[in-house]
């Protein structure tokens, strides 16, 4: 259902408020570049710092702007199952094509608790669900065994794999029928080589066409072309994580004139030293 390059969209701010005009412009930029899907309100969208009304309005605004041209997979995860159900049900109501559900963070549920959480949301909200396995952010990881149990649940169709361990993707691909999407730009090539279908990409915010060339080549079976593309933009992939995401990518977008360099605490501007490193990489790619 979901494949290729899906962008983990940033949320632009202006004087502490969501910049709705820039949000529309960022969506337009992605559509013009041929991005295969848009993912608002994930980690890159600074979802933990938005109010619930803002969160919902961003999802609705993106769905409206996309206008059915590509799938919208809305970030609707929470460490409260009832809250995740509510956000996911809202996303379905306003026309999102899927929901991205992060592992419940901070409360560190057991594997059974994780299973019951995702099962409850998928069944109650009745929308295609992509699991989001990112233990570095959440303090807990879905085991492959639990992932395969969840693959049997109605509406659970995929997983954003962001453990950073390639064997996890291999084990999932060998054990159950879920669409695997890379959660790390620098691992998209190897994850697709072992059975993944694409990426939910941070770097696609700034170079959507270039990331798209990589995933398109892999989906077409042209590993040589995909490898060359991976090597071409690898330094850019790594530069997006010299500080906590989405600080580098949002700074890059600001330097490109696409949004303000504005964050909500506890996200903050880059250190001067890392900002200079980022600018140097962006110059190498002709982006500033």
Q: 22 catalytic, yes or no?
A: no
112 located within any domain: yes
Residue 95 within a domain: yes
- For residue 270, the 8-state DSSP code is P
Decide if 276 is inside a domain: no
Is 201 a domain residue? yes
On whether residue 121 sits in a domain, the answer given is yes
Query: What are 54's two structure tokens?
Result: 């803002």
Our answer to whether residue 232 is catalytic in this structure is no
Residue 38 located in a structural domain: yes
Domain limits for position 169: 4-220
Domain count, the chain: 1
**Which one of 160, 197, 213, 250 is the catalytic residue?**
160
- Quote the pTM value: 0.97
The helix (H) or strand (E) run that includes residue 150 is: helix 144-150
Catalytic residue among 22, 132, 213, 250: 132
| CATH number of domain containing 214 | 3.20.20.70
**Widest CA span in the chain:** 49
Each of the 288 residues of the chain gets a pLDDT tens digit; together they read 799 999 999 999 999 999 999 999 999 999 999 999 999 999 999 999 999 999 999 999 999 999 999 999 999 999 999 999 999 999 999 999 999 999 999 999 999 999 999 999 999 999 999 999 999 888 999 999 999 999 999 999 999 999 999 999 999 999 999 999 999 999 999 999 999 999 999 999 999 999 999 999 999 999 999 999 999 999 999 999 999 999 999 999 999 999 999 999 999 999 999 999 999 999 999 999
239 inside domain: no
Which DSSP category does 105 fall into? P
Domain presence at residue 209 = yes
């Amino acid at each position: 259902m979901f494949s290729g390059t899906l962008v983990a969209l940033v949320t632009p701010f202006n004087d502490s408020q969501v910049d709705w005009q820039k949000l529309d412009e960022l969506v337009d930029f992605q559509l013009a570049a041929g991005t295969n899907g848009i993912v608002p309100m994930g980690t890159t969208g600074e979802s933990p710092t938005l109010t619930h009304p803002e969160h919902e309005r961003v999802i609705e605004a993106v769905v409206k702007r996309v206008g059915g041209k590509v799938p919208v997979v809305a970030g609707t995860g929470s460490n409260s199952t009832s809250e995740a159900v509510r956000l996911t049900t809202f996303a379905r109501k306003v026309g999102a094509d899927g929901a991205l559900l992060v592992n419940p963070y901070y409360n560190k549920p057991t594997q059974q608790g994780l299973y019951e959480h995702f099962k409850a949301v998928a069944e109650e909200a009745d929308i295609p669900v992509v699991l989001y396995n990112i233990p570095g952010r959440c303090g807990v990881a879905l085991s492959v065994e639990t992932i395969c149990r969840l693959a049997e649940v109605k509406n659970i169709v995929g997983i954003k794999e962001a453990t950073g361990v390639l064997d996890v993707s291999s084990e999932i691909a060998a054990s159950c029928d879920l669409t695997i999407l890379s959660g790390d730009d620098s691992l998209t090539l190897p994850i697709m080589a072992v059975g993944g279908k694409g990426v939910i990409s941070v770097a696609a915010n700034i170079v959507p066409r270039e990331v798209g060339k990589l995933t398109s080549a892999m989906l077409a079976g042209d590993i040589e072309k995909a490898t060359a593309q991976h090597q071409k933009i690898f330094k850019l992939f790594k530069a997006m994580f010299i500080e906590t995401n989405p600080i580098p990518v949002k700074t890059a977008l600001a330097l490109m004139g696409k949004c303000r360099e504005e964050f909500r605490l506890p996200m903050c501007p880059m250190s001067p030293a890392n900002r200079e490193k980022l600018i140097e990489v962006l110059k190498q790619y002709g982006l500033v």
